[in-house]
Amino acid sequence: PSPMPALGGASAENLRFLDYLIYEPVRTVLLFREGVNILVPAPERYAVHKLIVSSRRLTDTLGRVKADKDLAQASLLFQALVETRHDSELTDAWAEAWDRGDAWKEAICNGLLRLPHNGVEALGKALGSEMPDLEKLRAETRLR
């Protein structure tokens, strides 16, 4: 944990890839009493972020459970974004993450290899020819 002096000395865990996640948040309403206006990460960024962080989880039991949850959330969001015709936003979020360098590409590919089939299909629809070749990724992974 990192000390957070602005929060009265409380400490917080560093979140990886946070700058990507919180860029251009979306305003929405929290359903509580008369409603509370809040900002949340854009769903397309949240989905890609979940894919990335799933690959960074520890390999112990708790880490695997969290990674599976990350992948399920990413898959459902990819499907929802495609079904609601937000493919272009997803494509833009994907391209930005992909262009951030080799470490990002590796994390994305590692998550993609474990993504549930429905999520892979939805992402493939959105990305078209930009979708990484899963068979090639699996072969490369086996060679390592």
Question: What digits encode the pLDDT tens for the residues 103-135?
Answer: 999 999 999 999 999 999 999 999 999 999 988
- Kindly give the residue spans of alpha helices, DSSP state H, lying in the chain: 18-21, 43-54, 61-83, 87-98, 102-114, 117-127, 134-143
Whether 50 maps to a domain, the answer reads: yes
Whether 76 maps to a domain, the answer reads: yes
pLDDT at site 141 = 74
Whether 116 maps to a domain, the answer reads: yes
pLDDT at site 142 = 72
DSSP 37: E
Q: For the chain, what is the largest distance between any 2 Cα atoms, rounded to a whole number of angstroms?
A: 57
Domain count along the chain: 1
User: How many residues appear in the chain?
Assistant: 144
Q: How far apart are CA 83 and CA 114, in angstroms?
A: 22
Residue 102's domain spans which residues? Answer: 43-143
Instruction: Reply yes or no on whether the pLDDT at 45 is more than 80.
Output: yes
**Burial classification of residue 14, based on how many CB atoms lie within 10 Å of its CB (0-12 exposed, 13-18 middle, 19 or more buried):** exposed
Whether 28 maps to a domain, the answer reads: no
Are 112 and 120 spatial neighbours (Cβ–Cβ below 8 Å)? yes
pLDDT at site 139 = 85
Q: pTM, whole model, 2 decimals? A: 0.85
Whether 25 maps to a domain, the answer reads: no
Q: How far apart are CA 112 and CA 55, in angstroms?
A: 9
Whether 35 maps to a domain, the answer reads: no
Whether 2 maps to a domain, the answer reads: no
